[in-house]
Structure 1
Amino acid sequence: MKRRYMLIILGILLIGITVFLTVQLSQPESAKKETTTDNIEQQQQEKQPGYTANEQEETPEEEYAKPQETNGEPITQLREIFSEAVQRTIDFFANREANVTALGDSLTQGVGDNVVEGGYVSILDNTINENHQLVAFDNYGKRGHRSDQLLKWLDTPEVEQSVESADIVLITIGANDIMQVVKENFTNLNMNDFTQARETYEEHLQQIFDKINDLNEDAKIYLIGIYNPFLNYFPDIRELSMIVDDWNETSRDVVEQYDNATFIPVADLFASGEKHLFADDHFHPSHQGYQLFARRILDYLTDQ
C-alpha cells in the first residue's frame, strides 16, 4: 500500500512537471525571450529543414538540434574541469578524422544548459576541437523522444546519412519511456506497469542497435545510462532508484549483446542530488551537470 501511494505521488509530480514544461514551451514570444533555455529550443526548431510551428511531437522528421557555435565562452571552465581528460582525448583523436552522431532525447538536445546550445555534445565539441578541428559532431537529440520514436527517427534520411558516416554514435534514451508509464497509469500505478514497459523498451533498444549496425557496422555505439531526476523532490523514495537501476541494467544487458557497443553509467554523477547539477526545472542537468556528463563520456571514449 505504501509503495502504491508513493508511486501515485510520483505520478502526480510527473504530470505537474509535464504541465510546467508545456506551459514554458507555449509562452508567447516576448516571454520566451526572457528564458535562455526556451530561446535555444525555439532556435533549434526553426533551423531545421521544413520546420513548421504546427508539426506534431510524434512526427520523426521534426525538431532536431544541430551543433551551434559557442564562441569559446566555456573553454576556461572546461580546462579546469576536464584537466587530464582533455589531453587524453586530444591524443586519442590526433592524426585521425572522426565523425560523431548523437541521438536521443532532451539530454542529447541539451535542455537545461543555459551556457551552450547542445549540452554535453557541444561541450565535447568545444573540448576536443579547442585548438584544431579533429572531430565533426552531428546532434539529432529531440526533447521528449522515447525509444519507439528514436527507432522511427533513424529512418529519417538525414539521420541515416549521418549514422552511415559516423565513427561513433552516442545515445541517450529511456527516461521518457519511464515517464510515459507514469502518465498513462498514474491513477492506478504499480511496479508491474514498469516491468512490462521495460520489456518493450528492451525490444526497441535491440531494434535501434540493429538498425544502426545495418547502416554502419563499423561504428562504435555508446549508450548513456539514465539518472534519477526526482532526487530533488523525493530523495527517500526507494522505488524511484529501483526503477532507474532496473532500466539501466536492461540497457547494460542489451549493450553486452553487441561487440561494438559500450554502456556509460551516469546515475552516480547525480546521486548526491546537489542542486547546482540541475537546471531551474530541477529535472534536467545544468551546465555543470552536462560537464560531468561530458567528462564521463570522454573517459569511456579514451579508455577503449
Structure 2
Amino acid sequence: MLKRWVLVTMLLVSSFLFYPPATAESPGEITYIAIGDSLTAGLGSSEENYLRIHGFVPQFTKYLREKNNVTVENYGIPGLSSTGLLALLNADEALQNRLKTAGVISVSIGGNDFLQTIRSVPEGEDETALNLRMEILKRTYQETYKLLRELNPDATIILLGLYNPYPEGHELTDLGAKYAPLFNGFIEEYGDESKTLVIDPYDTFEGKALEWTHIEKEDIHPNDRGYLEIVRLMKAAYERNLE
C-alpha cells in the first residue's frame, strides 16, 4: 500500500514537471474575425505571392500571434457600404455564428459612405443633404454595433475610424477635413464601453496623405506605410486594453 502511494506521488510530481499548469504566459486561443470594406481586404498594400500581407489584418494577426494561437478570418469586401455591411450581418447566419466565437473583431466601414457623401455636394451648394447622409450613416453604424454586441458581448471589438486622404490643395480637402472627424466623433462614444477600442487615424495621417496613401493616383487607400501606422495605433490601443 505504501509503495502504491509513493508511486502515485511520484507520478503527480512528474506531471507538473513535464506538463506545468497554464500560466498567464501560456499561449491563448484567439479567433480574430475582420469585417468591413476595402481596408479590411488590404487594398492599396503591396502584394507578395498574390497575398496582401502588408494590410492591417495580416499585420495585426502577426502581432496577436506573438503571444497567442490565432485563427483569422477576413471578410473584407471592397466597395462595401455601411448599409451593405448591416444587411450582410443580418442575412448571413453562418457569419453570425462565426462572430459568436470570436475573441477579437475588427470593423472598417464608412469609407465608401464618406466618399459618396463628400462627392454628393456640388461646389457652392448647401450642405443639408450631406448632413442628412451623415445622420443616416450614424444610425446605420449604431445598428451594426448593437448587432455585433448582441452576437458577442465578450469579444474585443476594434472600430477603425477615418483619415482625410486629400492633401492640401485638393478640391475635396476641406470637406474631408470636416466630415472625417465627424464620423470619428460619433464612433468615439463606443470607446467608453468595456472591450471596445476606437482607432482614430485622423491626426496621425494629417499632412501625410501624399506619403501614406495612393492619392496621387486618385486612390484613397493607404500604402504599406499607411497600413503600418494603422496597425501601430491598433497595437497601442489593444495593449492599453490589456493593462
TM-score bin (small chain): 0.7 to 0.9
Q: Which residue identity is paired with 1:103?
A: I
What residue is the counterpart of 1:293 in the other structure?
230
Deviations 1:231-276 (A, max 9, x none): 26628943421111111111213x1574442211111221122533
What residue is the counterpart of 2:140 in the other structure?
204
| 2:84 aligned to which of 135, 149, 158 | 149
Q: Which residue identity is paired with 2:138?
A: E
Q: Which residue identity is paired with 1:291?
A: L
- What is the alpha-carbon distance in structure 2 between the residues aligned to residue 233 and residue 284 of structure 1? 19
Residues 230 and 189 from structure 1, CA distance in 2 versus in 1: closer, same or farther, beyond 3 angstroms? farther
Q: Contact 2:107–2:159 (CA<8 Å) still a contact in 1?
A: yes
| 2:44 aligned to which of 109, 112, 116 | 112
Deviations 1:9-45 (A, max 9, x none): xxxxxxxxxxxxxxxxxxxxxxxxxxxxxxxxxxxxx
Task: Count residues in correspondence.
Answer: 211
Q: Which residue identity is paired with 1:263?
A: V
More off after superposition, 269-278 vs 205-214: 269-278
Q: Contact 2:205–2:212 (CA<8 Å) still a contact in 1?
A: yes
Residues 121 and 141 from structure 1, CA distance in 2 versus in 1: closer, same or farther, beyond 3 angstroms? same
Residues 275 and 179 from structure 1, CA distance in 2 versus in 1: closer, same or farther, beyond 3 angstroms? closer
Q: Contact 1:108–1:140 (CA<8 Å) still a contact in 2?
A: yes
More off after superposition, 194-203 vs 178-187: 178-187
Q: Contact 1:194–1:243 (CA<8 Å) still a contact in 2?
A: no
Larger Cα-atom Rg: 2
Q: CA deviation at 1:181?
A: 2.3
CA RMSD, 1 decimal: 2.6
Q: Secondary structure at the match of 1:180?
A: helix
Q: Write 1 or 2 for the structure with the bigger share of strand.
A: 2
- Show the 5 A alignment for 1:74-223: 94-115=26-47, 116-117=51-52, 119-129=55-65, 134-155=69-90, 156-186=92-122, 189-223=125-159
- What is the alpha-carbon distance in structure 1 between the residues aligned to residue 171 and residue 211 of structure 2? 16
Q: Contact 1:178–1:194 (CA<8 Å) still a contact in 2?
A: no
Q: CA deviation at 1:212?
A: 0.8
- Which contiguous aligned blocks of 4+ residues in structure 1 show a shift greater than 3 angstroms? 182-190, 235-239, 256-260, 279-282
Residues 232 and 261 from structure 1, CA distance in 2 versus in 1: closer, same or farther, beyond 3 angstroms? same
What residue is the counterpart of 1:302 in the other structure?
239
Structure 2's unaligned 5+ residue stretches are 1-23
